[in-house]
Structure 1
Amino acid sequence: MAGRRALAVAVAAVVAAGGLVACGSDKPKADARAELQIWVRKPPGSNTEKTDVQLAAKFTAETGIPAKVTALFDDFETKLQQAAAQKHLPDIVINDTDQVGTLVKQGIVTPVDKSTFTGAADLTASSWQAATASDGKIYGVPFSQQSYALLIRKDWRTRVGLPEPQSWADLDALAKAFTTKDPDGDGKADTYGYVIPGSTKRGYMSWYFSTWLWSNGGDFLSGKPGAYTPAINSPQSVAAVDELKKQFCTDKTVVPGSITAQTTDAHPLFESGKGGIYLTGPYNMARFDKNLGKDKYEVVALPAGPQGTSPATLGEGENVYLMAGSKNPAGQLKFAEFATSVEGQTIGMAGTTDGNVVRSPVNSKVNTDDVRHDPRWTLYGQLLQQHAHYAPAVPDWAPFRQDSADTLNAIASNCSLDVKSQLDKLAGTFNDELSKQGAKA
């Protein structure tokens, strides 16, 4: 963490000196034929990287503008900061929507004029909102959007004789049965209920838990941009965290090792038969269909919590960010326009394969059912349209996500901690951060 902060300071110093957003005589001479360097947050060698390469190749074939894709996954944001400090930013970055505030704060991304963007009206209002910073300006072009649902081992559920869960109590009963009733029938006590990516790295625990929080009527913050107050210690939020703690500490229905697991660690825990309930995105279904079997699991919306009024899901996705200092700003814009076109979105969806980089399309002219013919994707789309919650529009969401992940991880790791007092402390931290960012009510 200290290293990241040092890099952030270095980036800020370069920005202050005008080294990233070049101006005057330091501004690079525009070259509409210069090769675009495109960074994607995908595992090198993965099928998702191959789809991004195909997208870039098709773009080059249609425009004549060369483009090179570089896939990076581990410590992506740190490597981007290093590139910024070295004044070697890529031209395009495709990364999470919740990075908008961080990139703007670092001064390494350029704004987008929606009024002159070809095809802007075809992109959904919610996806444009996810590319909008707290100052009301747009700093990315929507590329993909997604929601989250439960993947449940249907064969296990049938074997233990329980119905599809309609409540959190049903889920807990199912998790206990998966942990104690040998659902795989191998005669060994080697299965569990929940698979949870509970690592603090990149704030994974907070990212995972947010869907549960909103499903119980809780929240991280309440209010509106520029006028937020902490809500993480509200009664609904406390009750949601109590549920998380119960899974780890009382029921002990979570796969061992989840407390330090990132998503890349969690996926194998589900497909290898260690855990039977996994809250995740639609992008994993092709992988699990192949490695586990499509008939062995089902996709179910997380039910509303005891204090919630309706299902909820984290809504997020990825944006095409146009990075500062590019030699080819016209090419940057053309790539973003191609990536969000019907053709670009269809390439990115990659059918029903595990190479999808567009989960749910942001282009309203693209019908998911026409491309995928899979009702499970339809469910994810309905959750996105009807029940999605996006991260609050603060100038920089990263500190809030990290601080909440640290607190939630500590509560799940140390069962002696009192949930209410820990969340009261977190609310104080949030309050200080809101003041620091000028976003406090």
Structure 2
Amino acid sequence: MADTAQRQLHLGAILEGVGADHVSWLDPELPGDASIDIDWYIDNARAAEAAKFDLVFIVDSPFITPDTAPHFLNRLEPLTLLSAVAASTSRIGLVGTLTTSYWEPYNVARQFGSLDQISRGRAGWNVVTTGLEGAARNYGREEHFDHKLRYARAREFVDVVQGLWDSYEDDAFPRDREAGIFLDKAKQHRLDHKGAHFSVAGPLALSRSPQGQPVIFQAGDSNEGRNLGAAIAEGTFTSAEDFETGRAYYADIKARAAALGRNPDLIKVLPGLAPIIAETDEEAQAIAAAAQEALDVGKLLVQIGRAFNYHDFSRYDLDAPFPDLSGVTLNSYKGHAERIIRVAREEGLTLRQAAYRFGQWRTDFVGSPETIADEIERWFTGRAADGFLLRVTRPKDFRLFRERVVPILQARGLFRDDYAHRTLRGHLGLPVPENRHAREQHAIAAE
């Protein structure tokens, strides 16, 4: 109990509509157009808020193929969607994905800053560099940015955006009607950034929200991705396959942050969670086994192919050793692709075995509500996670988690009974960043 007294479990909901797999959309309880139905998102965000979740999360990527999973084929753009959800909720955090490879910093600063104002301090930005090479041709480029270049651009991109978010000091607008002073001009600041990748003058025409700046999230798993997360992230999303993998990632990202002089406790590690819940462990295991039996190996091959820029794995013998991919690009989801190759080699997996291993969400979370809560607590107290992002698509699964698992976590003192704050930073236990210009003035005054 000493460990949990200073830490609080965090829960987020990934709102996936008809699903990032190829089977969830078949659920008769799930609307067939859930991924473009704003009412579906609002209803699920409100349900997550009623259960006191920290945040809802909207994933995104700007490239699809005919074989792409159903949710990705037809879905709403994250910032537009979250702005609608903001007006229909009051406490829950609102986190969206937006790429640094195919946008401009000023636009991103303005959009997320606006969401932060609309929601009164509940916005978060999941920083990605875009894995799929095909996205380049949707943005006027013949070739995708090289992996290392993407991450160098991303670091500078975030620096510029955060600089723009500090364009106004917190008390820049006196709005003094008697004196006729709307703006204290000394407290508006140009950025005048000129870097290797971007040139941005500023200032941004938007003041800071109650949480100062939107929370920065990041999800890269390659070496470059982890370095970026350690440098900029206040929350990291990971797809840890099991407890030991989760512990290794947790220790690594926190150590990298500490080496950069950051407080590692201020980076929240949030693995994905796709539990299978039933009244008993035996029933849940039977459901898991039946779901495994019903999987289409062809669709699993598409899923692992996505990590290699939708490489066509159907050309290989399923029961031969995992193929040699030395000639295949790793300029997509590099960290995930490298992990697939490494594990397949180390464990001698066939292509079929690799497809079942990496083509679906793996889960150690199968069992009764009590068993699921036990496993969540094990990961939390064992420093494999600071919390989890629950995959939300099938209505029954989400309902069981909210109504049966969350109360157990609350009874154990692991998860809040009610919100203590109104901002996303407050929920996550993160400080409000001081405006950089005000900080400089305070430092000068102190000297």
- Check whether TM > 0.5: no
Which TM-score tier does this pair reach, normalised by the shorter chain? Answer: under 0.3
TM-score under structure 1 length normalisation = 0.26
Q: Which has the higher contact order (CA 8 A, sep 6+)?
A: 1
